[in-house]
Amino acid sequence: MSEQNQILQSTRQEELLYQVSELNQMLVNGQPLEAFEKFYHGDVIMQENHNPPTLGKDANRERETKFYGNITELRRNTPLKVATGKDTTMVEWLMDFTHREWGAVVLHQVAVQVWEDDKIIKENFFYSLKP
């Protein structure tokens, strides 16, 4: 890789780190829907584990609104590790919450995000639930 390409890749990774850090801070501050509006592409595809993907911002907004609307107590929402690549970020999360339907939950999750035009175009969540 040429020196110029290394510099461009390094700059892109710094930009991604800044964006994902801002996104994570909004989530920690209890602003998940505001973060969704700011950082997610109109054509976003989101998928949890091996479930079928949810296509488009409207359908994913509805899914996110339902999920966060069912959280009755959020005890912990902490990003543990962040990694960046060419156009990809990965965040390891630890969440401890009470869900209206699921009860008390500890969620250890990795979110893999692909960015396009400074927005997340694809996000996969890999997790295990511990009631």
Tens place of pLDDT per residue across the chain (131 aa): 666 555 445 688 899 999 999 999 999 999 999 999 999 999 999 999 999 999 999 999 999 999 999 999 999 999 999 999 989 999 999 999 999 999 999 999 999 999 999 999 999 999 986 65
CA–CA–CA angle 130, 109, 42 (5° rounding): 130
Q: How buried is 52 (Cβ within 10 angstroms: 0-12 exposed, 13-18 middle, 19+ buried)?
A: exposed
- Domain extents in the chain: 3-130
Please state which CATH number belongs to domain 3-130. 3.10.450.50
Rounded to whole angstroms, the Cα distance separating 44 from 56 reads: 5
